Amino acid sequence: MKYLLLIHSNPITWGHPSFLYTDEGQALPKKARDALEAQLNSLLDELDTSGELVTAVPLEPPSSTRVVRVRKGVRATTDGPYSEAKEQLAGVFLIDVATPERAEAIAATIPEAQFVAVEVRPASVFD
């Protein structure tokens, strides 16, 4: 089953990996920040080796977002993120794992989970 792990972050402190740009992340000693970066790299290597990683993509800041809507055949494009919120989507992992519990376990090892939300969403497959 495929799952999308959606990493949320504060758009005011945008950067990747996002945990390094949060107030909490910046308050950590350099050794702790380096350990989190190593944890992320190790996770990516592990998922790649196991074949569970489909892709991982950091996203550009919400300020570069374009929203497209079509109403009555007319396309309208606006700047900025769709919603006004303290946290915006910062990046995604698409994984292919055997169980929802494995997806949650992977989400828990993404360093951002210590500072912001990591949403675990099953991905549907078109028939």
Q: Write out the chain's pLDDT in tens, 127 residues.
A: 999 999 988 766 677 888 887 788 889 999 999 999 999 999 999 999 999 999 999 888 877 888 888 999 999 998 876 666 666 788 899 999 999 999 999 999 999 898 888 999 999 878 7
Sheet containing 88-96: give its strands across.
53-58, 88-96, 2-9, 118-122
State the virtual CA torsion across 76, 81, 84, 90 in degrees, nearest 10.
Answer: 160
Give the three-class secondary structure for 29: coil
